[in-house]
Amino acid sequence: MYRSPFLNTIAEFMLVRRYSKRTIKSYIAWIKAFINFNAQRHPKEMGAPEIERFLTYLATDRTVSSSTQAVALNSLAFLYNKFLEQPLGDLGAFKRAMRQPKLPSVLTQQEVKSLFKYLEPKYRLTAGLLYGSGLRRMELVRLRVNDIDFDHLQVRVWNGKGFKHRLTTLAPELIPAIRRQIERVDHFLTEDLEIDSYCGVWMPDALARKYPSASKELGWQYLFPSHKLSLEPGTLHIRRHHIDESSVNKAIRLARKKAGIVKQVTSHTLRHSFATHLLQNGADIRTVQQQLGHADVKTTEIYTHVLKQGAFGVKSPLSNLL
């Protein structure tokens, strides 16, 4: 996997403990950067002073964002506290990154409509849930069939950012497409169950122990499954994983070009647009906060800041002259 046996051992350690591939890749990258920054010294020979110098370098020389610096810190805290079992204690003597967050890019409702027009048909439902329910991209691809509550028009999000659960709205207009998608999932499952080596969909450890047969039940299958079976990383289990989240962004970028939209558009742009359009339609800030799963309402307030710009809040004095 990696050229370094040391990094390979860390990756295997994380795989056994069910860390996601995304987290493993990110942590390994920061651990490698830390080792290179310190002239290839082994982490066992270093500690808090070297980590604090590295984090300060990221803030002052690399001018990374506070969230990026936090990921680097979490990676190194994992390395020392869990992998090496050399507790670091308090880490406070480093310069904190202070770069201001960017204002979110938001589409108009007409631009959203145009984007959907040019999306490949197989991605219209995924994009519909990103915009219609304000989901993050990973929350979308990790949805299970039983996360859709048709009766109450809700989508259940489990272990979202910060490992928080929440409920968000479901547009009734998406229901026919979701039912067709579930039929497709059921077809895949019927084929998979014919294979002796099929181990069912991946389940969190606690649920797998509590419901041993659930991995082969329709309700627990991914709503957007991969088109092929694969080996589960770190095991010999044959499973059907969810679609690769990068494919969603690629489809959205292609549709943006075809629609002639100048703004940069990603899956997260649809989430930003969901929040902004809710506020435009009169939803209160606390409701939007709950829908998005923000821990702090200050994070949600960035969308009210967007709305207060230009014609939505401040009238330009030039308008009085012309």
For residue 116, which of 244, 125, 281, 179 has the smallest C-alpha distance? 125
Q: Do β-strands 230-231 and 238-239 pair in parallel, antiparallel, or remain unpaired?
A: antiparallel
Catalytic residue among 53, 156, 216, 268: 268
Q: What angle do CA 110, 114, 120 make, to 5 degrees?
A: 150
Q: How far is 112 from 126, CA to CA, in rounded Å? A: 14
3-class DSSP state for residue 169?
Answer: strand
Structure token digits, residue 63: 């001018």
Phi, psi of 218 (to 5 degrees): -60, -45
Structure token digits, residue 317: 């004095």
Cα 304 to Cα 26, 133, 265, 277, 281: the distances in Å are 32, 19, 20, 10, 12
Give the residue carrying structure tokens 């995304």: 22
241 is catalytic: no
250 is catalytic: no
165 is catalytic: no
For residue 192, which of 233, 226, 236, 144 has the smallest C-alpha distance? 226
Catalytic residue among 53, 124, 156, 161: 161
Catalytic residue among 80, 123, 131, 136: 136
161 is catalytic: yes
DSSP state letters, 128-159:
HHHHHH---HHHHHT-BGGGEETTTTEEEE-S
271 is catalytic: yes
Catalytic residue among 303, 305, 308, 315: 303
118 is catalytic: no
Catalytic residue among 256, 271, 272, 277: 271
Catalytic residue among 142, 240, 242, 294: 294
Q: List the catalytic residues.
A: 136, 161, 268, 271, 294, 303
